Structure 1
């Protein structure tokens, strides 16, 4: 029986090192050089450029695998949009979460008009394959237009106070935006934030609603799923 560590096809570093680097990148506000230093402390000599390539190559794929393992989300969707300044231009990050704070999806767009809202609604429906019972948004009129055309019959509440779940879910994004000294392009923002929302959320349950034993069980389950979905055998 071989004792050699398993690797992803085409990569010389062990799979455990690569998926640990991706995990560090998405779970904590660390720079690529910080991760390089952490790995060096553990005896792994690798450049931050290699870590960057690992995160680009595997981050989205890991997130997609976690998305498939996600249990059915709630039937109330909270939606919100915030601006992102990219190379001096304003873009808008659209985000939807359910009533439990689980991120359903994000989309970076140039506008926040009715066309952009409808595009976001259609993306959500294509990914989740079911309609919500209710949606909650702020007072942006674009949501109402999109709801009437794409989600007729679904209750629509507009309230800045009922939408705190969506607004609070932007906080990890803002932290990463500052740490990364802003995003360099809309494509980079979309790619990173899509993966980040899923990987970060997988390991961040609503701990304040759990007992200590419930949280430990949830954490153990999250690590077990992560190991299963990132093991080298599934990539062979």
Structure 2
């Protein structure tokens, strides 16, 4: 896969890239508010407002996340799909999510419905982003999946069983934590924008530690910090 190596454009920003990228990493990697990130930076002598941190995250969060997506190896061919409700301004929305057999998040989509049309839209988004079809998809018993699958992925095996889809259901947990920290999302657009950056950045720095020795874990994490420095065009903040 071709990797986009273009550096982020920091022109016009008063603070150096090392501080900006570190603030963005803190916000998306940990369950922190903009105020929390500002306080952590203040402890190091960097005084910025909450609004400044917010603007940094809006401007660079998705850029960094896209680069991480471009650099990841091809994901698995078994897709687990699930949807979970989000309450936004008193109205119910649905967060559609797909993960592979290794727990890698393939894509997410916030929609106001979970009917056939919504399922088809999610399938198309997945196929456009990944550019390959799965061998099998695993979902719960929502009929919208089957109806959409027959039109979009007619030759793909489809398994529908509540207990087969625990991997996708467990993948929603970090989102729930952030939703609580943020006192819910302000709009469907806000949820989509935040989660599209949050998922790649947060999970990139969370290798499956229970499968690794301490030495292996440290080596993988160090390598990922080097990749982060490369895509953000910065040096590691000490």
TM norm. shorter chain > 0.5: yes
The total of aligned residue pairs comes to 227
1:211 Cα shift?
Answer: 2.3
Q: Which moved more, 1:25-34 or 1:224-233?
A: 224-233
1:69 corresponds, among 68, 71, 74, to: 71
1:126 corresponds, among 124, 128, 133, to: 128
Equivalent in the alignment of 2:50: 48
Structure 1 residue 161 and structure 2 residue 163: aligned? yes
CA distance in 1, matches of 2:212, 2:164: 22
SS at the partner of 2:15?
coil
Equivalent in the alignment of 1:115: 117
Deviations along 1:58-106, whole A, 9 cap, x unmatched? 1111101111001110110000000000011110000000000000000
Equivalent in the alignment of 1:147: 149
Please tell me the root mean square deviation across aligned C-alpha atoms, in Å: 1.3
Q: What is the TM-score with the length of structure 1 in the denominator?
A: 0.94
- What pairs with 1:169-208 in structure 2 (closer than 5 Å)? 169-208=171-210
1:201 Cα shift?
Answer: 1.2
1:9 corresponds, among 8, 11, 14, to: 11
Q: Which moved more, 1:207-216 or 1:12-21?
A: 207-216
CA distance in 1, matches of 2:71, 2:155: 29
- Runs of 5+ consecutive residues of structure 1 not aligned to the other structure: 1-6
Structure 1 residue 85 and structure 2 residue 87: aligned? yes
Equivalent in the alignment of 1:3: none
CA distance in 2, matches of 1:100, 1:219: 18
SS at the partner of 1:162?
helix
Q: Which moved more, 1:34-43 or 1:218-227?
A: 218-227
Structure 1 residue 221 and structure 2 residue 212: aligned? no
SS at the partner of 1:84?
strand
Equivalent in the alignment of 1:4: none
Q: What is the TM-score with the length of structure 2 in the denominator?
A: 0.93
2:213 corresponds, among 211, 220, 232, to: 211
2:34 corresponds, among 19, 32, 36, to: 32
Does the C-alpha gap of structure 1 residues 232 and 215 become closer, same or farther in structure 2, counting only changes over 3 Å? closer
1:13 Cα shift?
Answer: 0.2
1:232 Cα shift?
Answer: 5.9
CA distance in 1, matches of 2:234, 2:219: 25
Deviating 4+ runs (over 3 angstroms): none
2:233 corresponds, among 226, 231, 234, to: 231
Is this contact kept in 2: 1:8–1:232, CA < 8 A? no
SS at the partner of 1:184?
coil
- Runs of 5+ consecutive residues of structure 2 not aligned to the other structure: 1-8
